[in-house]
Structure 1
Amino acid sequence: MPQPVLLLGAGRAAHGGYPLARIAAVRPVVLVGASAPGWARPFLSGLLAADPAQEAETAETVARYAARHPVAGVLTWSRAHLAVAARVTGRLGLPGLPYETAAACADPPALRALLVRHRVLPAGPEDTEGPLVSAETVVLDDEVRITALTRTTPLHHSVHAHDGLLHNRFLRRTVERTVRALGLTHTVAHVGVRLTRRGPRVTGVAPHLPGDLIPWLVERATGVDLVGAALAFACGTVPDVTPTRQRAAAIRFAEPTGAGRRGYWAVEGDDAHQCERALEGVAGAAA
């Protein structure tokens, strides 16, 4: 049986359900958390009881576990758990982010200061207009590869394999300089950018798998498996991120209910316009 990976925090079902199911089909997954949510239990091979918010205690608990059970790698898709994940991987000698990088990415003011120090322009209060995109990026040694661009609003995401912005040299340069500033290597990263009249401005960096089913959109549109890439990096191997599809995919979320749950509609098609028409159709039928 393959060695397990440790997952620090399961997150919400809409965020973690898709990647967790994909990872569990390849390797056993042991959740590090206070408890396992019901939706995640079918995909887990075990629970290591610890509170990831307690960094030192969690690192010690994981170290004791790893001394008895070989671990292939450590994953998280929560900004709040980046620092403890880096502390754990550093202690176990496993692939992962440098602690300083993880801590900066988990703290927006620290991230902003780091970007400014490296002459990367973050979005400011005056940068409130212009479309929001996120560059779904895979960093292979010194190569910064933007596998897809997600066009995003609070209730809508779309990915098109032939998005013209993929050829925008200012956007690509901004993403590359952001990756260099943070010292990211061997990771999947979600780099948020607002396209202002003054040029691209970085809105945030998540050096882990993005949520809101964005990995599903990327795979349906381009064939690139971001989940598999993140797992490969965590286990110290190099993923194949060669595009195999030239499609489009989109998702629209319903307004949150009183219980905080969100329904959604997801579609794929030959291009972005086809996806938008399909979303209008399914959303209208459900209204």
Structure 2
Amino acid sequence: MPQPVLLLGAGRRCAYDEFVLTRIAAARPVVLVDAAPPDWARPCLAGHLAADPGKDGATASAVVRFAARHRVRGVLAHSAEYMVAAARIAGQLGLPGPSHVTAAACADPAVLRAALAAGAVPVDEPGTPRVCAETVVLDGEIRIVAITRTTLGPAPARQPLRHTVHAHDGLLHNRFLRLAVDRTVHALGLTRGVLHIGLRLTDRGPRVTDVTPCLPDDLIPLLVRRATGVDLAQVAAALATGEVPDTTPTRQRAAAIRFAYPAATGRLDRLTLAPEAAREPGADRMILTRDAGHHVTAGPHATVDDRLALWVAVGEDPAGCDDALRRMGRHLSARVAPAVTAAPDQPDEQPAVPDLHG
């Protein structure tokens, strides 16, 4: 087997995680480090190392033993959950990647804020409006390859309702955002990697709220690829193996994803998607992410596990994506049996999310 990349964790949500794994596996062999790989991941794997990525020390020992028998090209974390463990292991093996200290700082909001403040980075708490700079760092060269704009749901959960990426987003040329990103990279001592840098737009300019030194979730890599042609998953794999990735844009479009949350808390009795959704102009994919019979929590208090469905649209600009998302959303229908007894005149049909078509 050619020298593989070790991937810590495959994820447990096929609708979100399969895309990244498929793109990495298309470029190089993947050995998954996970206690038990999900069935959908197996066709993408060149091998499997049975170890729990959440048990940092034990996993590192298992990987070091594996690396003593097999030449390993790089170590990647599938998500922020395992980025500290991946950094520790890469450091032990002498492979590229963020340092363990940097990864640990990014995982601790208080430590991160202190590090950024020391580097003269404007910081703030997460809020709205919110954007993220999808950034690639290679030996000191910092490139913002895309801007992700996020629409958040109601408090207190404030879960994402939508992400949008546009190849011609004006923030790509905003010098204040560029300065905040550059200072963030330097403050954390990052020299190589893919970064998901969250920022809050304020009257005082963009202010950094969080930094994740690994691939973003929520299918944002798919949006970036559809909108710009830049394959963040393969870029991350190349950086982790010491190679120089190609970050040249090959597309000039927009892409967006929408998430449906239940409007009521209770048992999900019915969730259906009409096949006509796939034939809507601009439709990329539409996937149900919950099964009938399960308990779900309404949007204001929901988690990502309460999402009922996701759908992705591609267009020439964000307005085109919005139109496609609205048309696709009309093909989704859900009914939730409320956790408390409904009033006699309360309809039992519940929309998937408040203002689903808005």
For the superposition of Structure 1 and Structure 2, which TM-score range results when normalised by the shorter chain? over 0.9
Counterpart residue number, 2:51: 50
2:355 is aligned with 1:283: no
* Paired residues for 1:112-191 under 5 Å: 112-124=113-125, 128=127, 130-153=128-151, 154-191=160-197
CA offsets per residue over residues 143-194 of structure 1, 9 Å max, x none?
A: 2110010101211001111111112111111111111111111211110001
2:8 is aligned with 1:2: no
Report if the CA contact (8 A) 1:62-1:88 is conserved: yes
2:231 is aligned with 1:231: no
Name the CA distance, whole Å, in 1 between partners of 2:242 and 2:257. 32
Q: CA deviation at 1:262?
A: 4.0
Name the CA distance, whole Å, in 2 between partners of 1:68 and 1:76. 21
- Residue type of the alignment partner of 1:254: A
The structure with the greater share of residues assigned to helix is 1
Name the CA distance, whole Å, in 2 between partners of 1:201 and 1:221. 25
- Residue type of the alignment partner of 2:92: R
CA offsets per residue over residues 5-57 of structure 1, 9 Å max, x none?
A: 11111123244211101111222211112211222222222221222222222
TM-score when normalising by structure 1: 0.94
2:212 is aligned with 1:212: no
Counterpart residue number, 1:17: 18
- Residue type of the alignment partner of 2:203: R
Report if the CA contact (8 A) 2:255-2:312 is conserved: yes
**Which 5+ residue runs of structure 1 have no aligned equivalent?**
none
CA offsets per residue over residues 77-96 of structure 1, 9 Å max, x none?
A: 32232221111111111111
Name the CA distance, whole Å, in 1 between partners of 2:201 and 2:237. 31
Counterpart residue number, 1:27: 28
Aligned residues: 284
2:67 is aligned with 1:66: yes
Name the CA distance, whole Å, in 1 between partners of 2:240 and 2:258. 30
CA offsets per residue over residues 200-234 of structure 1, 9 Å max, x none?
A: 11111111111111111111111111111101001
Identity %: 61
One of 306, 310, 319 as aligned partner of 1:273: 319
Counterpart residue number, 1:255: 261
**Which 5+ residue runs of structure 2 have no aligned equivalent?**
152-159, 263-289, 297-304, 334-358
For the residue of structure 2 that corresponds to 1:57, the secondary structure is: helix
For the residue of structure 1 that corresponds to 2:331, the secondary structure is: helix
Counterpart residue number, 2:202: 196
Question: RMSD of the alignment, in Å?
Answer: 1.6
